[in-house]
Structure 1
């Protein structure tokens, strides 16, 4: 299962975007709240992902933060609330707003969301009343990723980020390897595969 994507933000549409990870474009469905805080394409960003596998599709849903992802998971446990409707709710209401709406048993606040009728609103309030207070209500900010460096270094850092290495720990290692290869005069300082391999060797120590 895919749990997170780090890559270049591609096209952004009304309810989805493309995240380019090493040349592979992942179609990610998201709330308007998450889409609105993504950086301008083609900048690098990181989104949390919930993978939904159906008989006829393999779908990815992206979130600005853990709070929105956790609320998506909780909302979709309610009968009648599918992934699309959960995103519609999270587009209209922040995690904090959803929590407050449920805590206040504000049925009218839920029915203002397109697709949520009175009966479904009552079901959401009833089923989630005891669970809502246990979930985080984050600020809804995309997890930050520093701007990519230019050239080989930036490509290597992006590749390492995709493998789970933090930029803060990887960048000094990559910079040191690039200098070493350049000083060795081996003509490999621009070879992406060589730099990635050497970086992985050092990071694994």
Structure 2
């Protein structure tokens, strides 16, 4: 739990170098577009990471690379902050990633990611206490995310079972839902079909 960034990765200014190996503290990123000098990365390859943040959930001045494990970011819901903030690239390469946050400053994961992702935006339906369920074409749920904060506008979901270009139905369920459930909960409301990017 954090009233600031949940996880923050940044090298001291003297250690930052550009892609040519030269010290470069003046170059600034273009809103997370990857123009920053080489900096500290966040690499997560296993385990379970749960972040509850009022500012950025995971903030790296380099790349964020998620290859395994489970990563859950609850928040932020205040404008100007992001669930995952990066100056390089966000690579979703097999980890189970779910975030619930404000939508204003969302940064798109890299197209080089091996896993697909779904960006689910629905201000009215994404209410605190409900669970977002993502089901594949066979009806099997491949991801669940329980919304723990009021004011969530956007849910990001990615894992190895979400394939780029495939369509998925998204549901919102009330009541208790097992986070590992592969069944759509009774009474769940369908939000529509979303294509993984």
* TM-score, normalised via structure 2 length: 0.27
Higher radius of gyration, 1 or 2:
1
Higher fraction of helix: 1
* TM-score, normalised via structure 1 length: 0.27
Higher fraction of strand: 2
